[in-house]
């Protein structure tokens, strides 16, 4: 199975770049399943139902989120009825929506997608992500109810992301970090067969501060006095993510590599997709 995960869409520039490029990527590389993190898609803060639906229309199979999931209040209303919209699974019991789902890929494979949020340097501080991961994997084990398992681990601390990946190694196909908006260069397959990347990076304008127009963040570092709101940068956007080939026999990763397309960053597509 061939899977693509795209990091946090930031603002109009990021979501438009994803919508424009994703159909071609699916066609050119015969992708079986696509996951997109959409938690910054609406002006950099949250996601609306219209943006969610447009992302599905572009070819995404699932949209994950993170700490900004409720920034657009309408998400509280549409989350419970949209099975392909995920918020972190370790929100307290009774929170609207769902944290995991089992989906059917284009090749017929059953894909468990789970969205889990870390706790180190994160707000709000949710339930234990390790216990949440254990619970989700026990409910739908790889090789039994699921042919592939993907976990979007939305967290700040690289150590927490790495330790979580080692915790589930051999029980997940891919653990990919989101939230920091900076693509890392540590893609690898762990000893047990789980593909890992500390952060997928963002889909947005990299002439910015993490996808935001750089003037106000810079002002706050220099003066400590806010002059205005953070606004999403609207220059040409780069999409960033990770591609994985997953064994149809074991559900574990066979190959993993980053995908980056757009200005500023070095462009790359997984060589094994050619």
Tokens of 265: 């960053």
End-to-end CA distance of the chain: 15
Q: Which of 68, 123, 166, 187 is catalytic?
A: 68
Buried b (16+ CB within 10 A) or exposed e, 195-209: bbbbbbbbbbbbebb
Q: Interior CA angle at 35 toward 29 and 36, to 5°?
A: 110
Does the annotation flag 40 for ligand binding? yes
| Residue 39 marked ligand-binding | yes
DSSP conformation letters of 148-195 = EEEEEEE-S-HHHHHHHHHHHTTT-SEEEEESS----S--EE-TTS-E
Q: Scanning the structure block, which residue is given the tokens 């700490």?
A: 67
Q: How far is CA 173 from CA 54, 81, 140, 151, 246, in A?
A: 27, 27, 13, 8, 7
Residues contacting residue 104 through CB under 8 Å, at least 6 positions apart? 110, 111
Answer yes or no: 187 catalytic.
no
Residue 1 to residue 243: CA distance in whole angstroms? 11
Look-up of token digits 């992500």: 129
Answer yes or no: is 83 a known binding residue. no
Q: Is 191 annotated as a binding residue?
A: no
187 is in an annotated binding site: no
**Quick one: which H or E segment has residue 28?**
helix 11-29
Q: Beta strand 239-246 with 188-189: parallel, antiparallel or unpaired? A: unpaired
The catalytic site residues sit at: 68
Q: Please enumerate, by residue number, every residue annotated as part of a binding site.
A: 8, 39-40, 67, 154, 179, 181
Annotated binding-site residue numbers for Fe cation: 8, 39-40, 67, 154, 179, 181
């Amino acid at each position: 199975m061939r899977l693509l995960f795209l990091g946090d869409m930031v603002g109009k520039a990021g979501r438009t770049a994803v919508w424009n490029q994703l159909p071609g990527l699916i066609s050119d590389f015969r992708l079986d399943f696509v996951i997109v993190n959409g938690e910054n898609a609406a002006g950099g803060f949250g996601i609306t139902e219209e943006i969610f639906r447009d992302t599905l229309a572009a070819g995404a199979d699932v949209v994950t989120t993170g700490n900004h999931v409720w920034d657009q209040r309408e998400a509280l209303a549409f989350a419970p009825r949209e099975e392909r919209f995920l918020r972190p699974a370790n929100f307290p019991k009774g929170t609207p929506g769902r944290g995991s789902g089992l989906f059917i890929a284009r090749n017929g494979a059953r894909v468990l997608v789970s969205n889990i949020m870390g706790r180190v340097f994160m707000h709000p501080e949710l339930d234990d992500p390790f216990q949440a991961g254990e619970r989700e994997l026990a409910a739908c084990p790889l090789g039994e109810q699921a042919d592939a398992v993907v976990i979007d681990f939305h967290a700040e601390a690289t150590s927490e992301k790495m330790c979580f990946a080692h915790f589930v190694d051999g029980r997940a196909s891919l653990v990919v970090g989101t939230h920091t908006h900076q693509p890392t260069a540590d893609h690898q397959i762990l000893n047990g067969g789980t593909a890992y990347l500390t952060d997928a990076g963002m889909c947005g304008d990299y002439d910015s501060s993490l996808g935001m127009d750089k003037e106000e963040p810079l002002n706050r570092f220099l003066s400590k006095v806010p002059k205005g709101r953070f606004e999403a940068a609207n220059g040409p956007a780069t999409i960033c993510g990770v591609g994985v080939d997953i064994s149809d026999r074991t559900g574990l990763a066979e190959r993993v590599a980053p995908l980056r397309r757009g200005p500023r960053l070095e462009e790359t597509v997984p060589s094994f997709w050619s």
